[in-house]
């Protein structure tokens, strides 16, 4: 086992070294500040800044509600974590004092502009959309940004610098920071077992924002309550439109966009078992819809309700793993036209339908790559999502998407399926190297997926370290030291001096999924119920239960 782990660590380092060769043109990182994701451009100085109860937060009266929200979050974090209460003032004269933190848009706030000048900082074009500048030194602290997202991310970076140091003075620094990818986040599947509560959804949204991710994709099969089909989602914890509205209102000030994924061909086994929907299946028991007018009526009705519920301009139509197509009601059509053409015609029709609802279609690309001719038959305004969960050094299929002129989002995986704790070494390699590949071709985004196959055993909190790593590489792909990331992550989460313990615990936990796939029942079976016929526990299984407990 130790040899396997060492081998995986070597693979991580080799993969990282290869990846860095592809991105040698990206800006080099400066000395560590304990921040996740690492900023794009950092200049250290020999100055410092002492933060204490007398430090004032200075925000201009012109600040909007989202800027005020970001500052309030910053205040709450310092109060809750360090018992440090910083007063907020809208009196710009307070910004004349060096023991102050001035925050805002320099085009609207002259104190921000003047302090940025003192540190030689400016909002260049690459910083405008979601970026920010941060200066710390003898003149005080300044956070300048053009957008409310930049203000939020600037305050988060300052907060992380503070948290990583405890009571130490803040180092003198000049930061210019912006994201590499426009779309950064996670895809959360809620259809195979666990379904988040509203509180848990909000925790995830807060966590994404903390690590500068802006996209939360929710994978729906039968976990949305449709008015047109009232039997869908009963007893499944399915989301209602009112809950979606609540989540979107919550996510907006955190700069997180919620995108629905609703499968409109395959992977709908649970939904297609319902009496109300079963006639639309390719054949009884199939996981795919038939290509038929009654199926399109269903898709239209679902699209209408989902488009009204979700504000995002994007709509992910799924469309992966449609292996059942052509073996039932669609058999003659497939024989006549071929699988590639039948799939392509279906994609085009869905794309036209989604445009009527002002939605930009996204879809998984595995079927497209299997029948490569499809790339010539579908419109270029469809965003393709390439998923591959193997921990490889390179992902050569990525280039096929961009060569044909499609916008691309890559989808690595958390390696959390069918187990309680993710295989972090495989997830880290996959997230890093697939994102590096996407960065090389200037893709639209990188999103890490979670899947709860066979009952969704793992708790969301056990995935947070991987989520944060996704935030790191999607913001600044040139960051590469996995062990250093773990140190920064656990320090930020649990305080200075704690990271070594949590790293050791995670390394231990990763061993368990390899052992558990045969011994899970022994952990959770009722001690007084008889075992299933034919299963007699081995001495090794019983030893694992005893030893790991």
Question: Using an 8 Å Cβ cutoff, are 154 and 144 in contact?
Answer: yes
β-bridge mates for residue 261, sequence order: 219, 316
Go through the chain and tell me how many residues it has.
549
CA distance 302 to 296: 10
DSSP letter for 517, please: T
Number of Cβ atoms within 10 Å of the Cβ of 341: 16
297: which 2 tokens?
């009526």
Q: Classify burial at 404, counting beta carbons within 10 Å of its beta carbon; exposed 0-12, middle 13-18, buried 19 or more.
A: middle
Domains by residue range for the chain, with CATH: 27-177 (3.30.379.10), 183-481 (3.20.20.80)
CA 207, distance to chain mean position in Å, is 10
Q: Give the C-alpha distances (Å, rounded to integers) separating 446 from 1, 43, 119, 206, 530.
A: 31, 28, 33, 19, 47
CA distance 366 to 375: 12
Q: Can you give the three-state secondary structure of 250-278, one letter per residue?
A: HHHHHCCEEEEEECCCCCCCCHHHCCCCH
Cis geometry, peptide bond prior to residue 37 (ω within 30 degrees of 0) = yes
137: which 2 tokens?
């030194």
Model-level pTM greater than 0.85? yes
Closest CA to 457 of 187, 193, 220: 193
**Quick check: helix, strand or coil at residue 430?**
helix
Angle at alpha carbon of residue 462, lines to 309 and 194, rounded to 5°: 45
Per-residue pLDDT of the chain (549 residues; tens, 9 = 90+): 444 444 444 444 444 343 433 333 333 333 579 999 999 999 999 999 999 999 999 999 999 999 999 999 999 999 999 999 999 999 999 999 999 999 999 999 999 999 999 999 999 998 999 999 999 999 999 999 999 999 999 999 999 999 998 767 999 999 999 999 999 999 999 998 888 999 999 999 999 999 999 999 999 999 999 999 999 999 888 999 999 999 999 999 999 999 999 999 999 988 999 999 999 999 999 999 999 999 999 999 999 999 999 999 999 999 999 999 999 999 999 999 999 999 999 999 999 999 999 999 999 999 999 998 999 999 999 999 999 999 999 999 999 999 999 999 999 999 988 777 888 888 999 999 999 999 999 999 999 999 987 777 778 888 999 999 999 999 999 876 677 899 999 999 988 889 999 988 888 887 765 544 444 555 555 556 666 666 666 565 555 555 555
**Quick check: helix, strand or coil at residue 140?**
strand
Question: Using an 8 Å Cβ cutoff, are 262 and 302 in contact?
Answer: yes
CA distance 400 to 409: 13
């Amino acid at each position: 086992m130790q040899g396997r782990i060492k081998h995986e660590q070597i693979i991580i380092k080799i993969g990282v070294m290869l990846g860095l060769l592809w991105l040698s043109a990206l800006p080099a990182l400066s000395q560590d500040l304990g921040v996740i994701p690492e900023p794009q451009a950092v200049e250290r100085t020999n100055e410092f800044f002492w933060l204490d109860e007398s430090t004032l937060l200075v925000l201009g009266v012109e600040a909007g509600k989202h800027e005020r929200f970001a500052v309030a979050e910053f205040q709450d974090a310092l109060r809750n974590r360090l018992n440090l209460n910083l007063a907020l003032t809208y009196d710009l004269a307070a910004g004349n004092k060096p023991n102050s933190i001035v925050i805002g848009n320099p085009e609207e706030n002259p104190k921000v502009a003047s302090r940025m000048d003192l540190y030689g900082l400016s909002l260049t074009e690459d910083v405008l959309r979601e970026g920010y500048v941060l200066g710390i030194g003898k003149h005080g602290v300044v956070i300048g940004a053009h957008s409310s997202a930049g203000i939020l991310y600037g305050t988060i970076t300052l907060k992380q610098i503070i948290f990583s140091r405890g009571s130490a003075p803040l180092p003198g620094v000049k930061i210019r920071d912006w994201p590499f990818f426009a779309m950064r986040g996670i895809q959360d599947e809620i259809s195979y077992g666990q379904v988040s509560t509203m509180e848990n959804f909000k925790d995830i949204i807060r966590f994404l924002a903390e690590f500068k991710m802006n996209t939360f994709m929710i994978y729906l099969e039968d976990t949305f309550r449709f008015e047109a089909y009232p039997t869908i989602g009963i007893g499944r914890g399915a989301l209602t439109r009112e809950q979606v509205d609540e989540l979107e209102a919550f996510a907006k000030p955190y700069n997180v966009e919620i995108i629905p994924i609703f499968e409109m061909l395959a992977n709908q086994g649970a939904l297609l078992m319902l009496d109300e929907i079963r006639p639309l299946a390719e054949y009884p028991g199939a996981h795919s819809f038939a290509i038929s007018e009654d199926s399109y009526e269903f898709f239209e009705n679902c699209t209408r309700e989902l488009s009204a519920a979700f504000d995002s301009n994007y709509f992910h139509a799924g469309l992966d793993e449609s292996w059942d197509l052509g073996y039932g009601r669609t058999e003659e059509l497939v024989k006549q036209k071929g699988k590639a053409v039948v799939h392509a015609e279906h994609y085009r029709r869905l794309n036209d339908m989604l445009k009527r609802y002002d939605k930009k279609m996204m879809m998984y690309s595995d079927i497209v790559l299997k029948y490569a001719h499809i790339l010539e038959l579908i419109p270029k305004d469809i965003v393709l999502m390439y998923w591959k969960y193997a921990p490889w050094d390179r992902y050569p299929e990525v280039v096929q998407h961009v060569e044909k002129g499609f916008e691309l989002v890559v989808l690595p995986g958390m390696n959390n399926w069918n187990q309680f704790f993710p295989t972090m070494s495989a997830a880290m390699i996959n997230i890093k190297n697939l994102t590096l590949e996407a960065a090389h071709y200037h893709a639209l985004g990188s999103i890490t997926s979670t899947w709860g196959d066979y009952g969704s055993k793992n708790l969301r909190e056990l995935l947070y370290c991987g989520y944060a790593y996704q935030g790191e590489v999607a913001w600044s792909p040139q960051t590469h030291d996995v062990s250093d990331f773990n140190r920064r992550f656990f320090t930020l989460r649990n305080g200075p001096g704690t990271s070594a313990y949590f790293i050791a615990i995670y390394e231990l936990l990763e061993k368990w999924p390899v052992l558990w796939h045969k011994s899970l029942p022994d952990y959770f079976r009722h001690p007084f119920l008889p075992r299933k016929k034919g299963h007699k526990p081995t001495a090794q299984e019983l030893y694992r239960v005893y030893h790991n407990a």
